[in-house]
Amino acid sequence: MKLTKRGKETPLMKRREQRVLRADSLNSLSRQSGIPLSTLKTRIRTLMARGITRERAIEIALSRPVGPQGRPRADDH
């Protein structure tokens, strides 16, 4: 990959550190609550399809915990 003039001036790790999460972004909200971003987006999209406002949909989506995934395991083994 060919480095640009700007890329040669600023090392890669420095550029990553400059990225700051906004407190109201979905990415930061999903990290705080421990819900995957894709799950949060899907929940918000389905709630908005029902006619709920975006702000209220975000509140509802964050209030629901993520349940266990996959097939339940047997207790007696």
Distances (CA, A) of 1 to 4, 7, 64, 71: 10, 11, 43, 44
pLDDT tens, 54-67? 999 999 999 988 77
CA 10 to chain centroid, in Å, comes to: 28
pTM (2 decimals)? 0.62
User: Which element (helix H / strand E) includes 32?
Assistant: helix 26-33
pLDDT tens, 30-49? 988 889 999 999 999 999 99
| Domains of the chain by residue range | 38-64
Query: What is the identity of the amino acid at 41?
Result: K
